[in-house]
Amino acid sequence: MNMTMKFNSLLGAVLFTAIAVPAIAAEPPALKPFTADYQANYMGMQANGQMTLASAGGNRWKYNLSINGSVATLSQTTVFEENGGQYRPISGSDVSRVLIKKVDKRANYDWSKGVATWSGDVKPDRAGPVKLQDGDMDGMLLNLALARDVAAGKPLNYRMVDDGRARQLNYTVAGKEQITVDGKAQQATKVVRTDGEKQTIAWVVEGLPVPARILQKRNGKDEMDLRIKSLR
């Protein structure tokens, strides 16, 4: 797997299905604009990351992730609707550069026709259409859904429609751990997904709209580590 795919698999897809979390069910908090700054480490190489959420008018929102390093950059954007507590993707873009190689992909979620399609630098078998189901999200939106649902104590069962395919991913809650956010110790819920030789771990802190830390491992060794530095 090349570096671009690893960036995309970690940063665009924090995807979780969990065992029951002991908490009282509550209404999800209203979406609010934010900017979250991250420090990324990939195989010892440092990069800066940022996630932003901004209103796009009405019940639509624009959610962006950018990573900027010396050898690789990534920009992923999703426009979505907040619809009855669900985050429903409308369109997406994924632009990445590793050394001199650039990839530009576009996604379109047509809910009136019930299909998702992809264009740009995509293989024919990943262009779609893929049939949509109620509740489907893309990889970006799962970051927001995870933070929301862990706090609410809901089962973390998601169907991701992204990159020309639909996938059901299963994660488990692995207890509580302390994590440092903006220089302060915070209690976090740790969630884990293992898929063969690959493992993804995320730490969710109550009150943060996105995971505070995301760690990807392969064969027990760290590949990518993304840690929040500040939120505003």
- pLDDT tens column, 152-205: 888 888 899 999 999 987 778 999 999 988 888 999 999 887 778 888 888 999
Q: Which two tokens stand for residue 199?
A: 């493992």
Per-residue pLDDT band at 28 (split at 50, 70, 90)? low
pLDDT for 205: 95
Task: Give the torsion through C-alpha atoms of 227, 107, 79, 231, to 10 deg.
Answer: 10
Write down the pTM of the prediction.
0.83
Q: What are the φ and ψ backbone dihedral angles of 149, each rounded to 5 degrees? A: -80, -30
Location of structure tokens 């990518």: 224
